[in-house]
Structure 1
Amino acid sequence: MENNVLEKEAKIMQNFTFTIRDAKTGKKKRVYKYHNLVVTVGRAIIAQRLAADNSNSLNLDFGELGTGATAPANGDTTLETPTFRKATASATSSTNQAFISYFFTAAEVSGTFLEFGTFIDGTVTIGTGILFSRVAINIIKTLSETLTIDVTYTVT
């Protein structure tokens, strides 16, 4: 008897949208779109959860901006140079997609940012939790601008 199994590689695709707005008017000033990787430790948490290992939640509860210029790599466990962390503003899902958002007010942070990462089970302390994904960016934010980061994870 022949076993006809359809084989398809499972993937997690990520789309990052960074939107800079004027803090007073709310008008969009710049929009940046990036794609990058779920790092090995992030994928390991998914495998653990599938095997009923609930020692980590898999909740992406913090996003972190940084200034490190090294390209993201599968082996990353932190940002290279983290500078500011923010709790997740919203998280929803639909079918095979998760939508995670982070919002940075005008007064909270400014600067040139070259990396962003999402973290599982972190706290307000920079570098805590488990890095799930990391992306190289080039974003300039001033104290007169807000920043919204929308991340879409699609599992195929």
Structure 2
Amino acid sequence: MRIKYIEKLYSNRMFKRGARRKRTLTGRQEAFLFNYLVMRQTATQAAYNAGYCPRYASQAAAQVLKSINVAAYIGAYYLEYWNSFTKGISVYSTMLNNRERAFVDYWLIYADAKKAAIKAGYKRRYAKQYGHELLQKPKMQKAILERIKSCDEKEMI
């Protein structure tokens, strides 16, 4: 009986080379995600409440969190949460500290990351590195775009 089951799996189109199979969550994984994301429990508590063995709940939680399909669900959940949280909020005014705001302003003036980092108050010795790292951050890129748009709107008035 086991051999027939395995043959059935391999004959299925989903398992042929190059084909992607749809990943679904088990009932325990769904319960774990509900407890972990919605109920805001720790991973160990969520694993215990989802029905994993109490003695090995922390190991089970670590294993579940490493699963690719669970990680995809967690990423989608936090992306949706982040988008709903930041909808209509300016990154420039809320998400940046004073030095990062100064860097954005000076970068718009000089268009040089090293010079902008020095003017913003970063150490001269590491200014080139800081400037490059800041420009790679998505929140800084979004803040620069917002700042450009706000400057354009002010000039239009």
Question: Which TM class, normalised by the smaller chain length?
Answer: under 0.3
Pair member with larger Rg = 2
**Greater fraction strand:** 1
Higher relative CO (CA 8 A, sep ≥ 6), structure 1 or 2? 1
Q: Could you tell me the TM-score, scaled by structure 1's length?
A: 0.19
Q: Could you tell me the TM-score, scaled by structure 2's length?
A: 0.19
